[in-house]
């Protein structure tokens, strides 16, 4: 079993977007469970400041194996309403 690491992810819900850090064993694990998320390899300019990055870590960090909250809960709710 591989060790988890945080991946920067974005969720475009149509009228805006949400950003977060999702801890997972691999990008493939994220794609399988949350195909709606985009894995971002380069931190965008608006997240370059230490303050904004710290805020993202503090408020939008998730673990792929924990109960979905925040952004992940929004992804699942949108998925359910689209089915």
DSSP for residue 14: S
How are beta strands 5-12 and 61-63 bridged, if at all? unpaired
Pairing status of strand 5-12 against strand 38-39 = antiparallel
How many whole angstroms separate alpha carbon 58 and alpha carbon 1? Answer: 27
Distance (Å, rounded) from C-alpha 25 to C-alpha 47?
23
Give the pLDDT band of residue 2 (cuts 50, 70, 90). confident
Cα–Cα distance for residue pair 76/68, rounded to 1 Å: 8
CA dist., res. 62 & res. 33, Å (int): 13
What is the span of the domain harbouring residue 66? 5-82
For residue 15, the model assigns a pLDDT of 82
pLDDT tens track for 34-78: 999 999 999 999 999 999 999 999 999 999 999 999 999 999 999
The pTM of this model reads 0.92
> How many folded domains does the chain comprise?
1
């Amino acid at each position: 079993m591989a060790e988890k690491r945080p991946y920067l992810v974005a969720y475009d819900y149509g009228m805006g977007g949400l950003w977060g850090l999702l801890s997972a064993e691999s990008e493939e694990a994220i794609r399988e469970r949350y195909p709606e998320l985009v894995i971002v390899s380069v931190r965008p300019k608006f997240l370059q400041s230490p303050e904004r990055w710290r805020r993202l870590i503090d408020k939008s960090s998730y673990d792929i194996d924990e109960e979905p909250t925040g952004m992940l809960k929004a992804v699942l709710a949108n998925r359910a309403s689209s089915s």
